[in-house]
A and B are shown apart, each in its own frame.
Chain A
């Protein structure tokens, strides 16, 4: 375009030049805006000037318009016109091409518009198609689900069929079995029938009792009459009635118990609900409580009237249901409040969760303690059992809790043994001593007796006054009774030691055994035996 611009500008230049060179009619063909004119005039100044006109002409590609004839710059009008004509042609062609191009541009813009339209249309179509596709997918999925469920139901149906077939087959086998059994029995019957028909000698059935028995209850049997029939019927109905009565009694008792329990439940629920301070919904509760109290009064007086009144029963059950509902709502409210944990609580409800938590804590502690206790007990039990298996320790541990007492007992026993031994020793000593004593006594007595004899025999008829009278009393007796003399003498000096002597020497032949008895008496009288100490000394002699 620059070329055309320059061409047009050059044309201007030439035009200007021609203006300068006096060709004004060319101006009409050139309707350039004044700006370009201005430009061309500017260009004119740069592109061509007086000195390089031929060069400019040449550079424009035009044949030289001058004929080099002389120094005058006479312009070849023909070639100039030719140039102008060529320029105009050029210009026309350019315009033509511009028109063509404008036309083409219009066309292309039209086609672009139409293409845009088709694009939007196709996009819409695409959208539609996509939506349809998703719809179809959805349907396919649903159909697949349906297929699966149908398959499942088919499977279950098949299973059921299978089960039914099994049942049918088991029933069939059972029927077959029964049939066979019946057939076998029938065959046996037929055989037996044949046998009976053939066998003429039929054995008659008979009973052979050595003597008739009496009835078990001792009563006489009665004839079958209508009275007995009636009696039997009566007995049967009595049995049935008795059974029904007992059952009814049981049910009555049960009912009474249940009613009591229900009443108690109701009372307790009322108590729980009325103990709460009136809350937001306090009015309703109060009303309910009041109505229930009224009911309580009614119920108590109705109780005595009719226990089976359906009305009373319904009232009771309805009352209980109502209370339970209230209690439930109350508990739900408490729960929600506990969850919220807000500050709107009144003291009661605030304390409630705390109380419950405290109680829970207490209960948990108790449970833990119990568990520990149980574990300890189990542990001990296990120990004990394991200990039982060990024979060595078992015997040891058998009376472990009696050791102290056993020790005491052992010590006591030891002391007692020691005492017993000492007693034995002493007893032996005593017996020996007693034996010796008795022997000495014996000899002494004998000597005395002989001495006395001598004395007596040697003595004068005048008795010694010193001799006690008791002596004379005993003088007539035998020698064997000198012991009494001795004893009488001994009496003079009442010493306990001498007392048993009487017993000792009284039966002279039986001296030996008497010695033994004497020992105990001796010991006794010697009062060596302290009763409370020497209880173990058996008088075994």
Chain B
């Protein structure tokens, strides 16, 4: 594995263009665009204030920079650096800004979610969408970019509006049977919309594209409900993670539960591979050459770690949260399917340092990875079955079905990896620290276990 040099970034704003050629980073109020292969700076733009949000347009030609404090949005062009565009929301404020899928419209959400303003860069026209709901995930675009689903709250009732992104025509508008809609998500094939209720009620509703209710799913009553939802890339499965530390999988034909994944404190199955990260202070000449030991060159003072396989049964470290507080750190909070829908990675907030990898073909637990500290971020490689994760220390971890690797990021001052994203073509892996950014090139040929 090779690492590039360390660059500066602020606010964890670092994105690769959709076509995979450019890397855009924000450093305070500057926008830096680099070429991904050479990491040379191609363009440098200066915005009027510190950038809060940055996004590429779908055709990789434009970049949107939003400054929430000043309610400004500036758009930059890669082809013509002289071209400029500034959107001023004025006194109504700005809390969110995003591109439309065609890359020619910008949707700004005003403060207090009073309305969503749709600015057209082609015609300079403005449209308004009223009463958008302020919830966890109130807007979702379908993957083909044709439709947009928006959650609306009017007269204490929840509605879903489906717009055609072509001309912002309101295709469907229907009420949902939720108490307090928390989020909605299109299936990858764009035909089904999953809508879920807030955590006070376990309810997941599935609507067809034309607004018909296909199915309702509720696993239990009264206890805290859905925490997160994820579609499998093949649209075959819908994974629902809830506060009772379980993941339920629904199938796309009958919309009934076909599997239930539990996260117990003790893993007893012998078919599961349990990887445990073990840290040890490096002493010269005392390195063990086991199958699972890969250490990169680093300073002697740093702690090296390796993975050990533990035979079942294995006990996981559990943290019981305070039951009196709201939004308790309990339950499955993050779900991620691999790109071929073969694997599902989950994280249970009780055991925040453990990642569970499930095999979707066998519908059973495949591997358990226990880290030394709480996992902050994990993401699947968009091309291969590889899971990268970080825990806020100076290492990045990779899991493949054949084994597990822990790699130290070489840097002078100590690079604390807080976030990571994969390039859309699978290589390199972008690591984000507090104020720094580094690229990690994983050559599949030299990958070791």
Contact = CB atoms under 8 A, between A and B. Distances in A.
A208 B189 contact: no
Contacts of B91: 196, 199, 202-203
Interface residues of B, number: 53
Interface in B78-98: 82-93
Contacts of A213: 104, 121-122
Contacts of B117: 205
A211 B124 CA distance: 10
Given A205-B89, A240-B208, A212 B326 contact: no
Contacts of B85: 207-210
A137 to B, nearest CB: 45
A66 B200 CA distance: 140
A510 B13 CA distance: 79
B427 interface: no
A170 B224 contact: yes
Nearest to A202: B91
Nearest to B73: A207
Interface residues of A, number: 51
B296 interface: no
Contact of A232 (B82, B89, B164, B326): B164
A169 B324 contact: yes
Interface in B184-239: 189-191, 199-200, 208-210, 222-224
Contact of B323 (A166, A178, A240): A166
B319 interface: no
B174 to A, nearest CB: 14
B362 interface: no
Nearest to A244: B191
Contacts of A229: 169
Interface string B113-137: 0000101011110100000000000
Interface stretch (A14-22, A82-90, A109-117, A215-223): A215-223
Question: Which of A174, A207, A243, A251 lies at the interface centre, i.e. has the most chain B CB atoms within 10 A of its CB?
Answer: A207
A215 B122 contact: yes
A173 interface: yes
A171 interface: yes
A228 interface: yes
A466 interface: no
B102 interface: yes
Contact of B123 (A202, A204, A212): A212
B147 to A, nearest CB: 8
A456 interface: no
Tell me what chain A mostly uses at the interface: helix, strand, loop, or mixed: helix
Contact of A171 (B119, B200, B208): B200
A173 B326 contact: yes
B281 interface: no
Contacts of A185: 112
Main secondary structure of the interface of B (DSSP, over half): loop
B190 A239 contact: yes
Nearest to A237: B210
Contacts of B412: none
B138 interface: no
Contacts of A95: none
Contacts of A251: 253
B87 A207 contact: yes
A102 B190 CA distance: 123
A236 B83 contact: no
Contacts of B112: 185, 188-189, 192
A212 B122 contact: yes
24 contacts: A170-B224, A170-B328, A174-B200, A174-B326, A177-B326, A192-B111, A199-B91, A204-B90, A205-B117, A208-B84, A208-B86, A212-B121, A215-B102, A216-B58, A216-B103, A216-B104, A217-B102, A228-B167, A233-B171, A236-B209, A239-B146, A240-B191, A243-B189, A388-B289
Given A209-B124, A212-B122, A236-B210, 14 more contacts: A170-B223, A170-B224, A178-B326, A203-B88, A203-B91, A205-B92, A207-B88, A210-B83, A214-B122, A222-B167, A235-B146, A236-B147, A237-B210, A388-B289
Interface of B: 58-59, 82-93, 102-104, 111-112, 117, 119, 121-124, 126, 146-147, 164, 166-167, 169, 171, 189-191, 199-200, 208-210, 222-224, 252-253, 289, 323-328
Interface of A: 164, 166-167, 169-171, 173-178, 185, 188-189, 192, 196, 199, 202-217, 221-222, 224, 228-229, 232-233, 235-237, 239-240, 243, 247, 251, 388-389
Would you list the 4 A-B pairs with minimal beta carbon distance, nearest first? A177-B326, A205-B90, A203-B90, A243-B191
